[in-house]
Structure 1
């Protein structure tokens, strides 16, 4: 499975949740909301050989910090062909290309040991694909999407669904659910009554009366 297939699979498995909660629950932030630049987000590197979260949306000027929360060594290495044109290349160990990072790893450089972390600030809009050199084959790849409107379900495509309250509708979800349930119950009761007792006496046929 290549990295793009993996990212599509990971995104599909978590898409519905990620759109609503990845910013709030799968990352730690400092400095408030994610809509403005300057926020720091956390993507953990784990002994499960994953970046958590595997996909994250941030604003230009935001920083990603990758702490190694386990004991197995990892790297954070951008793909040369997986970053936007004009974007600054990044790899743990301070390398300026994917090839240099791979060579450096073989020479014992670029390792982020357990308890250590690295970080990078993203300025250029677009999608950044990256991986862990020793665990790339195990599917330890991920992406960062830098967009003007993180969390809008876009990163460039389509607007995503809006909540009712965002459209100015003064209604809450639990009321909608309650009304729906009551409507179903009323329909069932009416259907049961009609099936058991037939038509109302007021609408029955008048027989031979003139």
Structure 2
């Protein structure tokens, strides 16, 4: 193997390890979300949108392939925000009714008309998390939730699991960088060992030792 090939091989291995480390770092990113009740998290579709800072937000009613979901399913807004539920015309007749929570959502009888809308402006009295559903499709999972204001209980979601118990998840600094660094060092080291054999013995580590084949 020529020296330039050696450099190319080692460089490629190093880049691959670095890319893997970067991907791991991205996966470890965490996001703070409202601590949704199970009735909301088990709802169809499951898309979460943080719409704080926006004065108006639209939620599709009858979203998804079968038209049996709210989109977004989980929505975080500020007080004073106007939420408009807009019917897609899919999945039959739907409505918006509170299951539990401070916001008193009630769009009335179920409607199947495309373009039909129901508006609700959240106030300070609606602060917290409200779980709502479509009454005709309650058992099919057409549930969703809205979180209002900053004073809501939150949890961190996403991020790769360290595989360690929570009480030893941190040793000075986050464990993830330790493992990423070790993996990078091992990857680079193995690439140099591999190319060393190719340079010294040719295409195989078993050639060049002498003796008949």
TM-score, normalising length: structure 2: 0.51
Post-superposition shift, 1:63? Answer: 1.6
2:154 aligned residue? 157
Q: Which runs of 5+ in 1 are unaligned?
A: 24-33, 94-108, 150-154, 162-178, 198-210
Contact 2:43 2:69 (C-alpha < 8 Å) held by counterparts: no
2:113 aligned residue? 113
1:52 aligned residue? 71
The counterpart of 2:101, out of the listed 83, 90, 107, is 83
1:41 aligns with 2:57: yes
Question: Partner of 2:93: helix, strand, or coil?
Answer: coil
Distance 2:43 2:61 in 1: 16
Contact 1:91 1:110 (C-alpha < 8 Å) held by counterparts: no
1:164-183, Cα deviation, whole Å (9 max, x unpaired):
xxxxxxxxxxxxxxx99986
Matches within 5 A, 1:1-210: 4-10=37-43, 18=48, 22-23=49-50, 34-36=51-53, 39-46=55-62, 48-71=67-90, 72-79=92-99, 82-84=100-102, 87=103, 89-93=104-108, 109=109, 111=111, 113-123=113-123, 124-148=126-150, 155-157=152-154, 186-193=188-195
Post-superposition shift, 1:110? Answer: 5.3
1:83-102, Cα deviation, whole Å (9 max, x unpaired):
13xx5x22013xxxxxxxxx
Structure with higher RCO (Cα < 8 A, 6+ apart): 2
2:170 aligned residue? none
**Compared with structure 1, are the counterparts of its residues 139 and 184 closer, same or farther at alpha carbon in structure 2 (3 Å cutoff)?**
same
Distance 2:118 2:105 in 1: 10
Contact 2:42 2:141 (C-alpha < 8 Å) held by counterparts: no
Structure number having the greater strand percentage: 2
**Compared with structure 1, are the counterparts of its residues 92 and 112 closer, same or farther at alpha carbon in structure 2 (3 Å cutoff)?**
farther
1:1-41, Cα deviation, whole Å (9 max, x unpaired):
xxx54423359x85xx74xxx34xxxxxxxxxx433x6111
Give the superposed CA RMSD: 3.7
Question: Partner of 2:191: helix, strand, or coil?
Answer: helix
Q: Which runs of 5+ in 2 are unaligned?
A: 1-36, 159-180, 201-213
Q: Give the paired residue count.
A: 137
Distance 1:9 1:192 in 2: 50
Distance 1:160 1:65 in 2: 27
Post-superposition shift, 1:188? Answer: 3.1
